């Protein structure tokens, strides 16, 4: 069962953040929408149970054609040839089925629904368990206003091309859970509150080693439609121009959007370069955490050192017996220097694979 691979909790949001980072997004927003929407004009009456409260996840990157293909492969992934990408897009996305049986998203010109049960969307089949709508050439809002009203937020109007990606995960209600073949447990408002609180505690550390994401915001939309900022975390190189110095490392590994690097190209370059020519970066990073409800902001200053390793690490990555593992000798170390201008200490070191892992190093 696909959910056995992914525990419930903040790790689900970590999966989505990792995918956004792989897509070179710099900004992420998480929105808890407590509204319920009308059910009169839907694509199918069966969709009425998914018009209630939902979790939204926005990032400011747009899906590429290959990304659409990757997400349709439940239980599979297509990052094998992309060494800069740490997770499998299909598998990582499937963690959201803890929340819902009907995930959907808007990106560019398209609105996409997934219906693994093939019982909610009209025309869904085992071969095609979903629906992709090119909304820029269809006036879907006037035809099915209730169906598409939940997507009109965070800059999305379902008329012009959307310069980002907005996922909607309507929460599984008790009545839907009884008939679900994915998970028999509803996802309640209390579950969402716990998820957000857990992630908020872990979130700021996530910005230490991500390649592209520099800002994460968490919002709440109440039953009246009012939106409130709950939390904001932001990372900034100090001085700012040092951020470009760090980007030499992910560019070395994954290339640029216009000229991506394949695994063969990366390993060939890694093998022929001497250690002193491999990219490294030492920088200072300021991470701010703002809680508007408490009226507080905390600023931490970190020293971060990153490098593509040579020596034995490089030898292991390029050795014929380990090529199938697609190892990347990328290492980073972060040390907390100060908090709000004063001295600061950490209770214990943590290990990361770009995002925090549930283990301590004792350092």
Domain boundaries of the chain, sorted by first residue: 1-233, 238-361
Interior CA angle at 338 toward 333 and 342, to 5°? 165
Across-strand partners of 57?
30, 167
Q: Quick one: pLDDT at residue 111?
A: 94
Answer whether residue 66 shows pLDDT above 80: no
Q: Spell out the residues 6+ positions from residue 44 whose beta carbon is closer than 8 angstroms to its own.
A: 120, 121, 122
Output the pLDDT for position 81.
42
323 compared with 102, residue with greater pLDDT: 102
Of 22-36, 88-102, 255-269, where does the model show the most confidence?
22-36
What pLDDT shows up at residue 278?
Answer: 95
Query: 270 in helix, strand or coil?
Result: helix
- Asked whether residue 346 carries a pLDDT value surpassing 80, the answer given is no
Count, in order, helices (H) and strands (E) of the chain: 11, 14
Whole-number Å distance between alpha carbons of 328 and 267: 9
| Residue 19 neighbours by CB distance under 10 Å | 26
CB neighbourhood size of 22 (10 A): 23
pTM over 0.75: yes
What is the pLDDT of the chain when averaged over all its residues? 87
- Residue 71 has a pLDDT of 65
Where residue 67 falls among pLDDT bands split at 50, 70, 90?
Answer: confident
pLDDT tens digits along 118-129: 989 998 888 888
Residue 83 predicted with pLDDT over 80: no
**Residue 216 buriedness (CB in 10 A; 0-12 / 13-18 / 19+):** buried
Q: Is the pLDDT of residue 231 over 90?
A: yes
Is a pLDDT exceeding 70 seen at residue 63? yes
Bond before 239 cis per omega within 30 degrees: yes
Average pLDDT over residues 354-363: 70
* 331-348 average pLDDT score: 86
Position 74 pLDDT exceeds 90: no
Q: What pLDDT does 72 receive?
A: 63
* For residues 140-167, average pLDDT: 95
Token couple for 135: 């909304």
- Beta bridge partners, 105, equal 112, 167
* Percent of residues, the chain, with pLDDT higher than 70: 91
Banded pLDDT at 347 (limits 50, 70, 90): low
Is a pLDDT exceeding 50 seen at residue 46?
yes
Residue 170 scores a pLDDT above 90: yes
* Residues 6+ positions from 173 with CB-CB distance below 8 Å: 49, 52, 186
Which fold would CATH assign to domain 1-233? Heat Shock Protein 90 (3.30.565)
What is the predicted pLDDT for the residue at 86?
A: 39
What are the helix (H) ranges across 75-144?
Answer: 89-94, 140-143
Q: What is the mean pLDDT of residues 222-232?
A: 94
Output the six-digit token pair for 154.
Answer: 């965070």
Note the pLDDT of residue 351: 79
Question: 199 falls in which pLDDT band (50, 70, 90)?
Answer: confident
**Percentages (nearest 5) of helix, strand, coil residues in the chain:** 30, 30, 40
* Predicted pLDDT at 3: 73
Mean pLDDT to the nearest integer, 144-167: 96
């Amino acid at each position: 069962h696909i959910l056995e691979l992914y525990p419930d909790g903040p790790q689900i949001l970590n999966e989505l953040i990792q995918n956004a980072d792989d897509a070179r997004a710099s900004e992420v927003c998480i929105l808890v929408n407590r509204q319920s929407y009308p059910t009169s004009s839907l694509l199918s009456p069966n969709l009425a149970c998914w018009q209630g409260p939902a979790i939204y996840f926005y990032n400011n990157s747009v899906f590429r054609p290959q990304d659409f293909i990757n997400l349709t492969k439940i239980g599979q992934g297509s990052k094998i040839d992309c060494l800069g990408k740490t997770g499998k897009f299909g598998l990582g996305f499937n963690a959201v089925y803890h929340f819902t049986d009907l995930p959907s998203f808007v990106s560019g010109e398209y609105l996409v629904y997934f219906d693994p049960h093939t019982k909610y969307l009209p025309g869904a089949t085992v071969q095609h368990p979903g629906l992709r709508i090119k909304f820029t050439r269809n006036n879907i809002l006037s035809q099915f206003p209730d169906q598409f009203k939940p997507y009109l937020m965070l800059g999305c109007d379902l008329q012009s091309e959307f310069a980002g990606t907005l996922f909607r995960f309507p929460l599984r209600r008790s009545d839907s859970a009884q008939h679900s073949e994915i998970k028999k447990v509803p996802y309640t408002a209390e579950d969402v509150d716990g998820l957000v609180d857990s992630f908020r505690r872990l979130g700021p550390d996530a910005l230490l080693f991500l390649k592209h994401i520099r800002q994460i915001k968490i919002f709440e939309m109440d039953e009246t439609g009012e939106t409130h900022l709950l939390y904001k975390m932001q990372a900034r190189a100090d001085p700012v121009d040092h951020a470009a110095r760090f980007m030499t490392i992910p560019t070395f590994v994954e290339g640029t959007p216009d000229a991506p690097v394949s695994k063969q190209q990366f390993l060939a370059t890694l093998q022929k370069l001497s250690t002193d020519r491999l990219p490294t970066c030492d920088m200072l990073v300021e991470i701010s955490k703002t809680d508007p409800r408490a009226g507080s902001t905390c600023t931490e200053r970190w020293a971060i050192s990153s490098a593509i390793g040579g020596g034995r690490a490089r030898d292991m990555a390029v050795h014929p017996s380990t090529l199938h593992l697609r190892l990347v000798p990328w290492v980073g170390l972060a040390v907390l220097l100060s908090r709000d201008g004063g001295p600061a200490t950490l209770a214990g070191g943590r290990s990361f694979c770009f995002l925090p892992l549930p283990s301590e190093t004792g350092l």
